[in-house]
Amino acid sequence: MNLLPHILNGITLGLLFALIALGFMLVVGLMEQINLAHGSLFALGAYLAFVVVSGRLPLPVEWVREWLLVPLAWRYAAALVVAPLLTALAGMVLELCVRRTYGKDPLYGLLLTFGAAMVIEELIRLVWGTRDYVLPVPPSISGGMIFWDLIWSTYRFYAAAFSIGAIGLVWLFIERTPYGAIIKAGAHDSEIVRALGIDLTRLRLYVFAFGTLLAALAGIIVAPIWGIRPHMGVDAVVPAFLIIVLGGVGSFWGAVAAGILVGLVVGVSGAYASEWSLLSMYILLIAVVTFRARGLSGKKSLLEA
Amino acid sequence: MARHGSDATQLVTPAMLAVVGVLASLPLWIGQVGLYPYIGIEIVIWAIYALSFNLLLGYTGLPSFGHGAYFGIGAYAFGLFQQNVLPGLWPCLAAAAGAAALAGLVVAAFISHRRGIYYAFMTIAFGQVFWVVAIKSHAITGGEDGLLRIQRAPADFGIVSFDLRDNVSLYYFVLGVFAVVLVALWRLVNSPYGRILQAVKQNETRAAFVGYNVWLYKFSVFALSAALSGLAGGLFAMAQTSAFPDVMSLHYSGYVVMMTLIGGGIVSFWGPVIGAALFLLARDAIGAVTTAWMLWFGLLFMLVVLFKPEGIAGWWQDLRREGGARRPGLARLRMLFGG
Amino acid sequence: MVLFEAENLQMRFGDRTVLENVTLSFGAGKLYGIMGPNGAGKTTCFNVLTGRYRPTRGRVRIDGEDITGLPPHLIARKGVSRSFQIMNLFNDFTARDNVMTALPEMRARSFETRRAVASDAKLADAAEAVLARVGLAGKGDVRAKNLSYGDRRALEIGVALAAAPRVLFLDEPTSGLGSDGTARLAGLIGTLKGQLTIVVIEHDMPFLFGLADEISVIHWGQVIAQGTPGELRANDWVRRSNLGKLQ
């Protein structure tokens, strides 16, 4: 069997996993909070993007007709901006609730966001029903291409490139901006942050919103591959959580590496037993965490208390 | 965990009599309030499940968020044992508890040295593994179509045998199991073993340094809780006459957490029972009006986590503390129903 | 007679050596003090002696029996008990239940599931006796988290004492206490002196020099001086250091 396509497929899948985990990681990093609603916000982003692209807006019919005359590429680009921003607003509302749990046992934040995940998912069902939707993408990034006598989906390359770009930008943001420095400090020592005269409350709100925005972006990128359905939130949040635990809490490159590793394992095991490929990531996690308490490169954190 | 006062030494407490008494009368009036006896079966089974779950969350402080796995394994084990090994009720229930205990032992061996969020996530990961296996092993479990044609075997007590095919008789059977579980768990949580579980919850380090093997307690209580959850799952398979993978999903695992927390499992023995009843009644009551009942229950859950993590039982205990002296009649009632 | 001894202990975390060649021996029924600046390795030393860490080299023995590298609960069962600098109590338990949990009688019944703890008057009596020993008689029904700071410090010792140890390690028992509280704790530890072997880490020098039979000074992870309080008063390092400022 030629494994190369499966390996390439695994790497693109891994980049998508890393993209899904990015926002989750920021929130864990700064607030030591597990945001179980991350997946639902990811789904919400995809649904909102679908609404924007397909023009199913609660607007006068003529406006919608006008909007649909705009080329798909432009509508898609608009969705890529509007949907994450709207989702980030929802994230900010959630943060107003979550902030009550800071400093308490992280279990409360976990439970609260679990409730929020339920609520968002039910809202999605209420508004859009349980059917699947397909997010239309511009022709320039859809379709396929052929090399090595194999058909490759153009969209997957686009998605992988988008993920790499997003990972790079988030890394630059964390490493090269003063905000990033604060985010890194904030995770370990909120006193230093306060001493620097930074409004930690506001910083947390913005970081949570940013994390949500990344979740929504991931949702939009993944939507054409997974389809848009209410359950996609759970399908995203469990791998995101898994990747953070595997990579180690508080480690950026640990998480990225874990994402790619998970993608590879799922992709390659899919070559042999496609039915069971989802199991492989859990087995990978159990194998790693059994021997390395904090994943591949984690630091000590409140989450162990 | 609150002290259970002088009740702690009793085999059967007034609260148990009151709860089982009220539940026993349920088939007499449930039709009049627009519900049906089957919901009684569900409430009692989920109460057993939530009580066993609370052994971990409330008493030992272990966040097991993939607990649906053991409930589901119990349900499948009940059905498979019945269809392939022995059809009798007792062996099937034993198989349900046994299979879940076995799964619990394996998982506990991997996670009992973990704490906090890592523990929570490892339980989720194992729960997902069992769920995926249940869905994908189509030949054994029937996959998403479920394991069908599970019989409600008669409860044979040697001298008498009860037919359980009727919902009311099945209800009294599960209520009987519930009563036994109540007595056993009440013994357990007030025994030295239960006391040490609570010590482990509060301070693992301290417990280890006065000579307790913390790992062994976390390990054993997980298996015990899994076994009881499996028993509840076996009863559930009997009630539904089938077993489905969805009870093992993350959602359903979350439901038992929600029930336990809303009811007040963190501070009260009775919290999980209150929560299970409220959850299922709310499902039917709100569900009759809107399909999005989970939306409202989810919001309620968020409010409880934010403002009253001690849940309904905690709120009740507060009321007793404040108002008990002023209104003696009410206080007596509360003594009966206590925290 | 030597009851507890540590021989050539070395403890490394990664490339940092926290303890180097620490050798200590504690005789039955005596009171030992351990002093040294912050970060010198005193608490790490306790952690190695009581099983929280396994030393990278060296041996720990109680009554001649090698207990190196055993987990804390097994070392505790050999009769080694400790208190913590940052208090470790069962905060939601009452003071009585805190002490009761540590009793050897409780440990012996720890997998018993049928009889209620509350039905056993002997356990309660034994717990009350320990509470009285640490000056908490009458406070048995107060939850640990609701006790005053001084009472919590006393309870911390009570829990360690309830395990009926042969050797009791106390890590800065007066930490955070004012002079009255320190005097109370000194009095309490004074009453325990002679009943069992006690090893105390302490910064309060008058306290230590007034109580201890022998004192070891740990600095940079090594024992740099050892002797009776009288001998140490004359020690150069002690005299030069801020630690040794004695009247």
Share of chain C above pLDDT 70, in %: 97
Q: Does A270 touch chain B (CB under 8 A)?
A: no
Most confident of B195-204, C182-191, C206-215: B195-204
pLDDT at A191: 64
Of A49-53, A300-304, B159-163, which gets the smallest average pLDDT?
A: A300-304
Within a domain: B241: yes
Tell me if B193 sits within 8 A of C112, measured CB to CB.
Answer: yes
ipTM over 0.90: yes
If pLDDT is split at 50, 70 and 90, which confidence band does C131 have?
A: very high
Q: What is the extent of the structural domain holding B125?
A: 5-250
> Residue B293 contacts by C-beta under 8 Å, 6 or more apart in sequence?
B282, B283, B286, B287
Compute the average pLDDT of residues A225-242: 92
Q: Is the pLDDT confidence value at B1 over 80?
A: no
If pLDDT is split at 50, 70 and 90, which confidence band does C207 have?
A: confident
Within a domain: B282: no
Other Cβ atoms closer than 10 A to C21 = 14
pLDDT at A169: 93
Residue B190, SS3? helix
Residue C129, SS3? helix
Closest CA to A248 of A184, A299, A303: A299
Share of chain B above pLDDT 90, in %: 80
Tell which phi-psi region holds residue C5, choosing left (phi > 0), alpha (psi between -120 and 50) or beta. beta
Q: Is the pLDDT confidence value at A83 over 50?
A: yes
Distances (CA, A) of C69 to C11, C16, C58, C73: 12, 20, 10, 11
Of B3-17, B24-38, B163-177, B229-243, which gets the smallest average pLDDT?
A: B3-17
Compute the average pLDDT of residues A243-263: 88
Compute the average pLDDT of residues C110-124: 87
* Pick from A106, A112, A238: CB nearest B116: A106
Q: Is the pLDDT confidence value at B150 over 60?
A: yes
Which partners does chain C have (≥3 C-beta pairs < 8 Å)? B
pLDDT at B337: 44
Distances (CA, A) of A146 to A160, A264, A302: 18, 22, 49
| Mean pLDDT across chain C | 91
Number of domains in chain B: 1
> Considering only residues 281 to 300 of chain B, which have any Cβ-Cβ distance to chain A shorter than 8 Å?
291-292, 294-295, 297-299
Other Cβ atoms closer than 10 A to A196 = 13
Longest CA pairwise span in chain C (Å): 62
* Pick from C73, C90, C94: CB nearest B208: C73
Q: Is the pLDDT confidence value at C244 over 60?
A: no
Domain holding A135: CATH number?
1.10.3470
* Pick from B1, B9, B195: CB nearest C119: B9
Q: Which residue of C has its CA nearest to B205?
A: C88
Interchain pair B301, A289: CB under 8 A: no
Interchain pair B190, C82: CB under 8 A: no
Of A78-92, B165-179, C5-19, which gets the smallest average pLDDT?
A: C5-19
Sheet containing C80-82, strands listed edge to edge, beginning at the edge strand earlier in sequence: C80-82, C167-171, C197-201, C31-35, C214-219, C222-227
* Pick from B1, B191, B202: CB nearest C113: B191
Top residue of B112, B190, B210 to mutate, by most chain C CBs within 10 Å, is B210
Q: Using one digit for the tens of pLDDT, what is the confidence trace for A221-230? A: 999 999 999 9
| Mean pLDDT across chain B | 91
Per-residue tokens: B30: 């449930």
Q: Which residue of B has its CA nearest to A276?
A: B136
Top residue of B113, B186, B195 to mutate, by most chain C CBs within 10 Å, is B195
Question: Domain boundaries in chain C?
Answer: 2-79+165-244, 93-162
Sheet containing C65-66, strands listed edge to edge, beginning at the edge strand earlier in sequence: C16-27, C2-13, C57-62, C65-66
Q: Which residue of B has its CA nearest to A285?
A: B125
* Pick from C73, C92, C116: CB nearest B191: C116
The helix (run of H) or strand (run of E) holding residue A217 is helix A200-226
Q: Which residue of A has its CA nearest to B308?
A: A108
Give contacts of B292 with chain A, Cβ < 8 Å.
Answer: 122-123, 125-126
Tell which phi-psi region holds residue C221, choosing left (phi > 0), alpha (psi between -120 and 50) or beta. left
Q: Is the pLDDT confidence value at B213 over 70?
A: yes
CATH classification (class only), C2-79+165-244: alpha beta
Interchain pair C72, B3: CB under 8 A: no
Q: Is the pLDDT confidence value at B2 over 60?
A: no
Interchain pair B202, C90: CB under 8 A: yes
Q: Which residue of B has its CA nearest to A126?
A: B292
Q: How far apart are CA A54 and CA B22, in angstroms?
A: 55
**Burial B185-217, CB ≥16 within 10 A → b, else e:** bbbbbbbbbbbbbbbbbbbbebbbbbbbbbbeb
Q: How far apart are CA C246 and CA B226, in angstroms?
A: 61
Q: Does A125 touch chain B (CB under 8 A)?
A: yes
Within a domain: B43: yes
Q: Which residue of C has its CA nearest to B197?
A: C110
Q: Which residue of B has its CA nearest to C77?
A: B211
First to last CA, chain B: 10
Other Cβ atoms closer than 10 A to C69 = 14
Q: How far apart are CA C148 and CA C150, in angstroms?
A: 5
Compute the average pLDDT of residues A128-147: 86
Of B87-96, C42-51, C226-235, which gets the smallest average pLDDT?
A: C226-235
Tell me if C99 sits within 8 A of C130, measured CB to CB.
Answer: yes
Other Cβ atoms closer than 10 A to C108 = 10
First to last CA, chain A: 47
Interchain pair B128, A282: CB under 8 A: yes
Closest CA to B257 of B305, B194, B221, B317: B305
Based on its alpha-carbon atoms, the radius of gyration of chain B, rounded to whole angstroms, reads 20
Residue with tokens 């008498």: B160
Compute the average pLDDT of residues A3-29: 90
Task: State if pTM tops 0.90.
Answer: yes
Q: Using one digit for the tens of pLDDT, what is the confidence trace for A124-136? A: 999 999 899 999 9
> Residue B99 contacts by C-beta under 8 Å, 6 or more apart in sequence?
B73, B74, B76, B77, B230
Which partners does chain B have (≥3 C-beta pairs < 8 Å)? A, C
Taking the CA of residue B201 and the nearest CA in chain A, the distance in Å comes to 11
> Considering only residues 6 to 35 of chain A, which have any Cβ-Cβ distance to chain B shorter than 8 Å?
34
Q: What is the extent of the structural domain holding A266?
A: 4-304
Q: Is the pLDDT confidence value at C241 over 80?
A: no
